[in-house]
Amino acid sequence: MEHQPLTHPQSVAPIRATRGISPTRRAWLFLSPSMLFLGVLIAASLLVLRMSVGTKGAEWSGFSLASYGQLLEPYYLKSLLLTLRLALISAVIAVLLAIPVAYTMSRLASPLLRRVFLAAVLLPLLVNLLLQSYGWLVILGPAGMLNQALMGLGLIKRPIMLLYNQNGVLMGLVQTAFPLAVLPIASAMRGVARSYEEAAATLGASRFQVFRQVVLPMSLPGIITGATLVFAYNASSFVVPLLLGGRRVPMLAVMVHDQIAPLMNWPAASAAGVVLIVTTLMIMTLSEYFTGRRRRMLEASQ
């Protein structure tokens, strides 16, 4: 005779597999803060674009292209060309100064020294731009440190004017944007394998030839990126040209400020801002095209 079990087995409900977040949704969640920030920037740009086709006193209801026509006058064209020229020259100088610093950073073996170099390079970004400009006023003034040093060495007999001209503005632009040139170049040079340099040295190339014919060509995408960042940063610079150049160096950002502050001419200021944004984006797009093309050539050669 079989005995029935005192306890009956309970039916176990099947466990449903928890569905995790899909990779696509996880990526969108990860990008949502930056996308929100970009959305705010795009909305602000569209508002500026709308005001640029308005009229003074009726920025949101009026419609006129007079503000863009005003930019064709010689004064505004000169201001635009001056802005592009100073931004381009400062980008070239900053890149030339950044290349040896970036190469040194990329070849340092000690992590401590790399951190020290990185902190020194990033220092201008940690100091307020206004304070840096006032520092240049102290250095470049008629009774400033530079003139006193030159007269003490007997190189000049009277102070030279370094403020309120393009030379002073150029020095300030190069100094403030210098870290933007160093970081991408150092990253690109760090990606150049040592084996290429060793192979070139084995074939009889000197250190300078290795640097000029191997490291520089393979780091060209980073160099172009650094120059583009400096150009875009300095093309929209306002504090440096205002303090070091005054009204004698009328860069476009200073002209935008003058249209808003004393004149309250929002359409003219918005039109100048739109032209500056479009010009900068065109140059950055062209630079990105050449950078991508060069990167593809390097990948194909490897």
Tens of pLDDT, residue by residue, the chain (302 residues): 455 555 555 555 555 544 567 888 888 888 888 899 989 988 988 888 888 888 887 778 878 888 888 888 888 889 989 999 999 999 999 999 999 999 988 888 888 888 888 888 888 888 888 888 888 888 888 888 888 888 888 888 888 888 888 988 999 999 999 999 999 999 999 888 888 888 888 888 888 888 888 888 888 888 988 999 999 999 988 889 988 887 788 898 888 888 887 778 888 888 888 988 888 888 888 888 877 777 777 667 66
Q: Tokens 């899909």 appear where?
A: 22
Q: Is residue 2 in a domain?
A: no
Q: Which domain holds residue 73?
A: 67-300
Going by C-beta distance under 8 Å and a sequence separation of 6 or more, which residues neighbour residue 74?
none
Q: Is residue 145 in a domain?
A: yes
SS3 track for the chain: CCCCCCCCCCCCCCCCCCCCCCHHHHHHHHHHHHHHHHHHHHHHHHHHHHHHCCECCECCCCCCCHHHHHCCCHHHHHHHHHHHHHHHHHHHHHHHHHHHHHHHHHHCCCHHHHHHHHHHHHHHHHCCHHHHHHHHHHHHCCCCHHHHHHHHCCCCCCCCCCCCCHHHHHHHHHHHHHHHHHHHHHHHHHCCCHHHHHHHHHCCCCHHHHHHHHHHHHCHHHHHHHHHHHHHHHHCCCHHHHHHHHHHCCCHHHHHHHHHCCCCCHHHHHHHHHHHHHHHHHHHHHHHHHHHHHHHHHHHHC
Q: Is residue 233 in a domain?
A: yes
Q: Is residue 48 in a domain?
A: no
Q: Is residue 26 in a domain?
A: no
Q: Is residue 9 in a domain?
A: no
From 75, 55, 80, select the one nearest 268 (Cα to Cα). 55
Going by C-beta distance under 8 Å and a sequence separation of 6 or more, which residues neighbour residue 257?
238, 242, 269
Cα dihedral 88, 92, 97, 100, rounded to 10, equals: 140
Residue 151's CB is within 10 A of a number of other CB atoms, namely 14
5: left (phi over 0), alpha (psi -120 to 50) or beta: beta
Confirm whether pTM is higher than 0.85: no
Q: Is residue 214 in a domain?
A: yes
Q: Is residue 18 in a domain?
A: no
Two structure tokens written together for 178: 């210098």
Domain count, the chain: 1
The CATH number assigned to the domain holding 234 equals 1.10.3720.10
